[in-house]
Amino acid sequence: MKAEDFLPFQMNSLEAALKEDIQYHGRDYFKDFYMIPNSLSPVSVKDIDLSCSFHGKKLQYPIFVGSLTGGETGLTKINETLGSFAKKYNIAQGIGDQIHCLGKTVKDPIIKSYSIMREKNPDGVILANLSAKFLVQSENYIEDVKKVVDIIKANGIEIYLSPLRDVLWDKNDFGLVGFIPKLKKLIETIDIPVFIKSISSGLCNNDIRQLWDIGVSGFNIGGVGGTSFARMDTLNRLTLSQKQSISPVKRPLDFFGTPTVWSLLDIALRSENNEIPLIVGGGIRNGLQAVKAFAMGADLISFAYPILIELTEDFGYPKEKNLERWFERLIFQIKTVMALFGAKTIEDLRSLVKSRTVIFGRTKEWIDGRKLAFPPKFIRKTH
Ligand SMILES: Cc1cc2nc3c(=O)[nH]c(=O)nc-3n(C[C@H](O)[C@H](O)[C@H](O)COP(=O)(O)O)c2cc1C
């Protein structure tokens, strides 16, 4: 079985991400979630502690480096840099789809484009990555998963769902038939946690309850708001005139799905989901949005496109330095906003949601439509 049967080369995804407009420019639903600052806050930036743990591993910051790449020798440098970056700040990270590892010998340079991340981050949390579509289509999926996990000595694996991209790529001839039984068998067989990740379309409570009940260890619930996988994998296959004729009216599905904030509220505002670890990404671009997501119940916040941009744009600094400057600014923003709310920890932030938060507009309608309680009746625990 060949990687090209499943997804376009990672290089193409990367090129499309850098050349095409693959970002959502619609309403930012984080703006509907208003936290009232504390004008008498006794907290200063230096008091704030963001350290956390994730599946038993201590992390310095609750930030997750979203899966980006691997599978081309030209991309080895990116994963090398990402490994060193995650090690430097002791943050968790994902890796690009590892389908390209299959059928290769250990010495193949393609394998190195992934394993370099572990070399550079020997003790960190790294999650392996394969698609749900792969699980459905592979006959030897258990062996294949074990192989990709072993290549990066992964602490867990993310199986990602990208339903819209799958449908567009396969010209409407694809569905996740038989996925749940295969996933259940995988969970029962391998000895590391299995996470389900959604790319660009979001997960709702109904989805995650079904998956949690079969033993999934946590979720990465990326929804609409940031990078569109559908646009990423289709725009670079179009001619210029096709692209020029693109309008939201002609491509109504480009941003089809549930916004990230709505997914988070749908899951985190229900007490039965209190035990479920949540990584949240998809359109989070600054410290204020990150703080709001923590307050709503995110355990780790994932960033992908912003990291890619810092790595590939040259602002006159070496590229590693761009990334570090971006990260340090992000952490400073998060801490500044937390200080202004009077929260020393993420637990403090969550307790403020009860007394200092108002929800507006369509997000309020989502809360009402989904019969969620706001302010929440409980404070979500951190994981
Ligand atoms: C160039 C590029 C390649 C990606 N490749 C993968 C991948 O191989 N596996 C995966 O699970 N997610 C992949 N993603 C999705 C990201 O990890 C993330 O979930 C998504 O981009 C939403 O986050 P963002 O809005 O911060 O970019 C990729 C994203 C980009 C921009």
The contacts of residue 331 (CB under 8 Å, 6+ apart) are: 50, 61, 63, 287
In a domain, 377, yes or no: no
Q: Residue 234's pLDDT is what?
A: 75
**148 alpha carbon – ligand 1 mean position (Å):** 18
Cis previous bond, 109, omega within 30 = no
User: How far is ligand 1, taken at its centre, from the CA of residue 69, in Å?
Assistant: 8
Residue with the smallest CA separation from ligand 1 atom 12 is 67
8 in ligand 1 pocket by Cβ < 6 Å?
A: no
Three-state secondary structure call for residue 340: helix
Which helix (H) or strand (E) covers residue 292, if one does? helix 287-296
Ligand 1 in reach of 160 Cβ (< 6 A)? yes
**What confidence score (pLDDT) does residue 5 get?**
42
- 381: in domain: no
Q: Is 97 in the pocket of ligand 1 (CB under 6 A)?
A: yes
Q: Is the CB of 121 under 6 A from ligand 1?
A: no
Residue-level pLDDT at 7: 42
Q: Is residue 107 part of a domain?
A: yes
Asked if 126 and 152 count as a contact pair (C-beta separation under 8 A), the reply is yes
Assigned domain for 375 exists: no
Residue 361 is part of a domain; what is its CATH number?
Answer: 3.20.20.70
pLDDT in tens, the chain (383 residues): 344 444 444 557 788 888 888 899 889 999 999 999 999 999 999 999 999 999 889 999 999 999 998 788 888 999 999 999 999 999 999 999 999 999 999 899 999 999 999 999 999 999 999 999 999 999 999 999 999 999 999 999 999 999 888 877 766 667 899 999 999 999 999 999 999 999 999 999 999 999 999 999 999 999 999 998 888 877 777 777 777 776 656 677 778 899 999 999 999 999 999 999 999 999 999 999 999 999 999 999 999 999 999 988 776 777 889 999 999 999 999 999 999 999 999 999 999 998 999 999 999 999 999 999 999 989 999 98
Its domain, for residue 287, covers: 3-369
Question: CA-based angle 25:29:31, to the nearest 5?
Answer: 105
Residue 227 domain-assigned (yes or no)? yes
Q: Which pLDDT does position 9 carry in this prediction?
A: 46
Distance 199 CA to ligand 1 centre (A): 7
Distance 65 CA to ligand 1 centre (A): 10
Q: How far is the CA of 217 from the centre of ligand 1 (A)?
A: 20
Strands 278-280 and 156-161: unpaired
Q: Is residue 379 part of a domain?
A: no
Residue 81 within any structural domain of the chain = yes
Distance, C-alpha 93 to centroid of its chain: 10
pLDDT of residue 171: 65
Provide the domain count of the chain: 1
Least Cα distance to 300 among 128, 48, 88, 92 occurs for 92
User: Are 214 and 184 a contacting pair, CB within 8 Å?
Assistant: yes
270 within ligand 1 shell (Cβ under 6 A): no
For the whole model, what pTM was predicted?
0.94
Write down the pLDDT at residue 6: 41
**382, part of any domain:** no
Is-contact 45 335, C-beta < 8 A? Answer: yes
Q: Is 296 helix (H, G, I), strand (E, B) or coil?
A: helix
